[in-house]
A = this chain, B = another copy of it.
Amino acid sequence: MAKTYKKPEALSEQVTHYCPGCTHGVIHRLLAEVIDELGIRGRTVGIAPVGCAVLAYNYFTFDFQEAAHGRAPAMATGIKRVRPDLMVFTYQGDGDLASIGMGEIIHAANRGEKFTTIFVNNTVYGMTGGQMAPTTLKGQRTTTSPAGRDVEDVGMPVKMAELISALETPAYITRQTVIKPKYIVRAKKAIKKAFQYQMDRRCFSLVELVSTCPTNWGLTPVEAIKWTEENMLPYFQLGEFKTPDEVEED
Contacts and interface: CB of A to CB of B under 8 A. Distances in A.
Interface string A94-132: 000001111110110011100000000000000000000
A101 B166 CA distance: 18
**Interface size class, chain A:** 20 to 34
Contact of A154 (B111, B151, B156): B111
A86 interface: no
Nearest to A81: B153
A109 to B, nearest CB: 8
A181 interface: no
Nearest to A111: B155
A232 to B, nearest CB: 14
B167 A158 contact: yes
Contacts of A158: 110, 167-168
Contact of A169 (B99, B100, B103, B151): B151
Interface of A: 99-104, 106-107, 110-112, 134, 151-159, 162-163, 165-169
